[in-house]
Chain A
Amino acid sequence: MGRVIPRDSLVGMVGGPLVWTVHFLLIYVFTAVACAFRFADVTFLGTSIVNSLMVIATLLAVAVIGWLGWLAWGRYRRAGGPERTDDPLLSRHQFFSLVALLLCVLSAIGVVYEGIPLLMLPACG
């Protein structure tokens, strides 16, 4: 599983925030388009389609971040977890995987925050 994201890459480290960015842009643009072209009022089984779609996108984003975080957690444990080490390679793995993991946690919180208003407010107005 560790092969999914190559070890110790700076881009791999910011996987979580990248998902946050994509999700943020997606819901922002989708709301703007839905309001401009007035299809925000469409409902299905009493709930707004637009809001529901965005809630699904939010859950998806959290899932992807969770998966990335889980991978990072695995790499962190395999590099010896929180134990201090003098081996430069191991300590580098620990650092990269720990920061990746922490960034995933932060991004997940960020995405969940974005999801809260979706449950309370109509898309437009």
Chain B
Amino acid sequence: MTALKKGEDAPPEGADPGLDQLRRVWAQPKGLSGYKEINNTDVGRWYIITGLFFFVAAGIMALMIRAQLAVPENDLISHELYNQLFTMHGTTMMFLFAVPIMEAIAVYVLPNMLGARDLPFPRLSSYGYWAYLFGGLMALSSLFFGLAPNSGWFMYVPLSGPEYSPGVNADFWLLGIGFVEVSAVAASIEIIVGVLKFRPPGMSPDRMPIYAWYMLVFGFMVLFGFPPLVLGDLLLEMERAFHWPFFDVERGGDPLLWQHLFWLFGHPEVYIIFLPAAGIVSTVLPTFVQKPLFGYSWVVLAAVGTGFISFGLWVHHMYATGIPTLSLSFFSAASMAVAIPSGIQVFCWIATLLNGRPILKTPMLFILGFLFIFVLGGLTGVMVASVPFDWQVHDSYFVVAHLHYVLIGGMVFPLFAGLYYWMPLATGRLMSERLGRWAFGLMFVGFNVTFFPMHIVGLMGMPRRVYTYPAGFGWDWYNLTATVGAFMLAAGVAVVLFDSWWHRRRGPKAGFNPWNAGTLEWLTPTPSVNYGLRSVPVIKSHYPLWDNPDLVESVRRGEWYLPDARSGHRETIRSSTVASRPEQVVRLPHPTWLPMIAAFFTAASFGVAIFKLWWIAGLLMGCLLICSVVWLWGTEDRPSPNRYDVGCGETLPIHLNGPNTHSFWGMALLLIFDGTAYLSLVFSYFFIWTASPEFPPPRFEGGEMAVAAACAVAMLLGSAAARLSVHANRRGRHGLYQLLLLVNAASFAAGALLMAQTLRMAGLGPTENAYGAVLWMMVSWTGFHVAISLIMTAYCAARGLAGRIDAERYQTLLNSELFWHFTTAVTLASLAVMHLFPQVA
């Protein structure tokens, strides 16, 4: 066998022409241009490092909090700074560390696990990364100017509203975080399409690495979980900046609406963080037992089941808000139900452990630590899921203890296991076992010493979020112990960080597949290479490296799919969703500055919006728009002939049109996100309707109905014109195509104006009452979508004139068409809510 063994390097330059092509095409540009790179391996690495940076930043805030609380009546930190610190600690940990780093790991390892050369939209993940970096730094920097958000990570109104938080602090949260959400959505679309379409031949969903299942569920949870918060952000910012009264009781609004929108996001969020971590556990554990994961189908059931049920838990954060007991019981029941899939999962892990002889290397230690801590956190979770118990401990340190057991146990420990596990792919070397044991010991003991006493002090009545406390309640020793533990925990993290830097030169060389793992990401030499696998094999099992010993060799010899890059393009295979048959060779973009520039303009426009410089923000958005046009213009390359020999005796098309393409799926997923945000707005309308029945929804009795009908007709006409334009283009009738686009644009513009007109005729302004605000928000929603639609229409017209949309390539048109129909659907739904519902009610 000539396969590379431990300590051997990849073949030298010139030995293998196919390999040389791959190396050349996928090489990172030299020097400063290296930052143009959009490949998942480089972007993933930066992403992970940035995530760890925010982890350390938020950790330092935690240490400051613990230092202040070490002794009673301490005056180390002022209460204002304390408020900013605990707000930013939670915010940074949740939004700038936990979610992004899980995306980062997926961006880094997922393509390699799936035998893909990259994710479907490399520029999008690069944009997501830079947006996250810029937005995160912007939010974090507010601490240094004393402008950081200070009303808690869940930003409850009215405390965060215009009256009690008049400064820009809350705006930093709303805009800074709002924009990190953009990057989360970008990553989730990337991951979903990647898992569903960019798999190697033969890897049908029942043979996917289990991590891919978890990330698929993660992606969908982000798509459905983040929109309510994005909408909530938008509503609160509108209330703060323009006095639209969504949450103002005097004008028919309701502060509870914010809590609903926040926790509609916030509870799924916990599982959005936990599921990828569970995916890491399910990946690492089998390697260190050298046995397959026990009960693959059951673990998939657990991941998917958790994904659904976790959307029925949000009100368990709101037990103390006076909602009727029966409604609370629904959420309590769902909270109990979600423990079932989690339990199944834990038993599958234990069964896997019992199935073999565990190898106690550092990643395995972190997994065992995870199991212990997470089970404890899960048990207190079941306790607080019960309504009467929650009423006793609500807003006390018991909850703080519970959430840290779940989040640190459930997410940080698996993450560190993953870091140790996959580090050889990044550096080609192993981290120190000795330091690893120290790190684990310090973290495990430090963690329990910090957070276990919090259960007790919480039951003794210590409230959370207090910057100091009086002596004599018996809380003193518990707090001092917790502070000592926090510094131990931090020391453990410091050891890991030190070694992850130190081992890059000093650690032993990892060589090929150092842990003898079974999944595809270990088929590359270490450190891993940008193009991933030398050739893409047909996959027949969950652990191809264990089940097929000859695979390594044949992949290395380039005997499978895509063994070279003779076209000079970066390319990867797209397969069908269920059967995983190869369908297309996708040409991927090459390094470019565009994503970074686009992210900069996005960050800058959100940044100036914090200070209400609306014109400049608009201008910067315009620059962003220009960037996107430049970005998209070169897509849909259709070479002639449109076939490519991918090896293994198969040729595949390079360019395709239709609903199976990855770009169409990207658009459809984006619209799921958009549609969910819109449904949250509709929810807000009906919530206000039930929350303040003394405020009836406005009835329009003048001629508004007729105008609304005209609006509906205009929108439907626009959609029909869009449909016909696709046909005209396919028949090669360019003149008619342009004319129909014009009709589409004119009808949409008319529709938006007519919709606004219905409210103006009734004399209903956005600041009058909550309904006015919600209805004007609906008009703005249509207005925004029509504006984007018009840009798309102009863009499709321009592409038509330039010959870039024609009878053979029209995917751009199909994607735009989807958006146009969506705009019509949203407008019709809004019209129904506005004009038909009050007639019925």
Q: How far is the CA of A63 from the CA of B341 in the complex (A)?
A: 22
Q: Is the CB of B206 within 8 A of A96?
A: yes
B-side contacts of A88, CB under 8 Å: 202, 204, 540
For residue B333, CB closer than 8 A to chain A, the reply is yes
B324 at the interface (CB under 8 A from A): yes
B308 near A32 with CB under 8 A, answer no
Q: Which chain B residue has the least Cβ–Cβ distance from A96? A: B206
* B330 contacts chain A at the CB level, 8 A cutoff: yes
User: Interface digits, B306-321 against A, CB 8 Å rule (1 contact, 0 not)?
Assistant: 0011011000000000
On whether the beta carbons of A110 and B326 are closer than 8 Å, the reply is no
Bound CA–CA A98/B206 (angstroms): 11
Cross-chain contact B308 with A21 (CB below 8 angstroms): yes
Q: Is A103 an interface residue (CB 8 A)?
A: yes
- B304 touching A114, Cβ below 8 Å: no
- With A17-B305, A20-B309, A102-B301 known to touch, is A113 a contact of B334 (CB < 8 Å)? yes
A28 with B327, Cβ < 8 A, contacts A10-B577, A113-B336 known: yes
Interface size class of A (residues with CB under 8 A): 35 or more
- Chain B residues, Cβ within 8 Å of A103: 301, 304-305
- Judge whether B311 and A106 touch: CB under 8 Å: no
- Decide if A122 is an interface residue (CB 8 Å cutoff): yes
Contacts A20-B309, A123-B326; A117 near B333 (Cβ below 8 A): yes
- Determine if A99 and B691 form an interchain contact, defined as CB atoms under 8 angstroms apart: no
Q: Which residues in chain B, 186-206, are within 8 Å of chain A measured between CB atoms? A: 196, 202, 204-206
List residues of chain A with CB within 8 A of the CB of B333.
110, 113-114, 116-117
Chain A residues with CB under 8 A of B202: 88
Asked whether any CB of chain A lies closer than 8 Å to the CB of B578, the reply is yes
- Check A113 against B337 for contact (C-beta < 8 Å): yes
Determine whether the beta carbon of A124 is less than 8 Å from that of B324: yes
B333 to chain A, nearest CB (A): 4
Residues of A within 8 A of B326 (CB): 31, 117-118, 121-124
Main DSSP-derived SS at the A contact region: helix
- CB < 8 Å neighbour of B206 from A14, A95, A113: A95
From B297, B304, B311, B329, contact of A98 by CB (8 A) = B297
B300 within 8 A of A: yes
Question: CB distance B578 to A9 under 8 Å?
Answer: yes
- Those of A43-99 within 8 Å (CB) of chain B: 88, 91-92, 94-96, 98-99
Q: Is the CB of A10 within 8 A of B205?
A: yes
Q: Which residues of A contact B196 (CB under 8 A)?
A: 10
A 11-47 to B, binary, CB cutoff 8 A, 1 in contact else 0: 0011001101100100111011101110000000000
Q: Verify B578–A10 contact, CB threshold 8 A.
A: yes
Verify A31–B324 contact, CB threshold 8 A. yes
Cα-based distance from A116 to B540 in the complex (angstroms): 45
Number of interface residues of B (CB under 8 A): 37
Q: Mark B321-347, 1 if CB is under 8 A from A, else 0.
A: 000111101101110110011000000
Instruction: For A102, list chain B residues within 8 Å (CB).
Output: 297-298, 301, 305
Least CB distance from A35 to B in Å reads 5
Chain B residues contacting A106 (CB-CB under 8 Å) are: 301, 305, 309, 337, 340-341
Q: Is B392 an interface residue (CB 8 A)?
A: no
* Chain A residues, Cβ within 8 Å of B691: 36
CB distance from B751 to the nearest CB of A (A): 30
Contact B330 A28 (CB under 8 A): yes
Q: Report if A125 contacts B (CB, 8 A).
A: yes
Across the interface, do B324 and A35 meet the contact criterion of CB distance under 8 Å? yes
Closest to A120 in B: B329
Distance A29 CA – B683 CA, assembled complex (angstroms) = 10
Whether the Cβ atoms of B334 and A92 lie closer than 8 Å is no
* Complex Cα gap A33–B332 (Å): 20
In the complex, the answer to whether B327 meets A109 with C-beta atoms within 8 Å is: no
Cα-based distance from A27 to B315 in the complex (angstroms): 14
Smallest CB separation, B296 vs chain A (Å): 8
Contacting pair A109 B337 (CB below 8 A): yes
CA distance A8 to B325 in the complex (A): 41
Q: How far is the CB of A16 from chain B (nearest CB, A)?
A: 9
Q: Report whether B334 and A14 are in contact in the complex, using a CB–CB cutoff of 8 Å.
A: no
List which B658-694 residues lie within 8 A (CB) of chain A: 686, 689-691, 693
User: Which chain B residues (563-621) contact chain A, with CB distance < 8 Å?
Assistant: 577-578
Chain B residue with Cβ nearest A113: B333
Which residues of the other chain, A, contact B578 by a CB distance below 8 angstroms?
A: 8-10, 92
Inter-chain contact B308/A14, CB cutoff 8 Å: yes
Contacts of B300 in A (CB 8 A): 95, 99
Q: Are A92 and B206 in contact (CB under 8 A)?
A: yes
> Chain A: which residue is nearest B298 at the CB level?
A102
B224 CB, min distance to chain A CBs, angstroms: 10
Report chain B residues within 8 Å CB of A99. 297, 300-301, 304
Q: How far is the CB of B441 from chain A (nearest CB, A)?
A: 38
In the complex, what residue of chain B is closest to A29 when comparing beta carbons? B686
Chain B 170-214: CB-based contact to A (< 8 A → 1; otherwise 0): 000000000000000000000000001000001011100000000
**Pair B206/A24 contact, Cβ less than 8 Å:** no
Q: How far is the CA of A24 from the CA of B308 in the complex (A)?
A: 11
Residues of A within 8 A of B340 (CB): 106, 109
| Measured CA separation A61–B540 after assembly (Å) | 38
In the docked arrangement, what's the CA distance between A114 and B326, Å? 10
CB distance from B218 to the nearest CB of A (A): 15
How far, in angstroms, from A106 to B343 measured CA to CA in the complex?
Answer: 12
* Closest-CB distance, A99 to chain B (whole angstroms): 5
Q: Are A114 and B311 in contact (CB under 8 A)?
A: no
Among candidates A13, A36, A114, A123, residue contacting B334 with C-beta atoms closer than 8 Å: A114
Report yes or no: B330 in contact with A24, Cβ–Cβ below 8 A: yes
The complex places the Cα of A123 from the Cα of B329 at a distance, in Å, of 11
Shortest Cβ gap from A50 to chain B (Å)? 9
Q: Would you mind naming 11 contact pairs between A and B with Cβ atoms under 8 Å apart?
A: A20-B312, A21-B311, A28-B330, A37-B693, A95-B206, A98-B297, A107-B305, A109-B340, A110-B309, A110-B333, A117-B329
Known pairs A14-B308, A36-B693; list 11 more (Cβ under 8 Å): A10-B205, A29-B686, A36-B689, A92-B206, A92-B578, A95-B296, A102-B297, A110-B312, A110-B333, A110-B337, A121-B326
B-to-A contact residues, CB < 8 Å: 196, 202, 204-206, 296-298, 300-301, 304-305, 308-309, 311-312, 324-327, 329-330, 332-334, 336-337, 340-341, 540, 577-578, 686, 689-691, 693
Give the 8 A-B CB pairs with smallest separation, nearest first: A117-B329, A95-B206, A36-B690, A17-B308, A113-B333, A102-B301, A110-B337, A121-B326
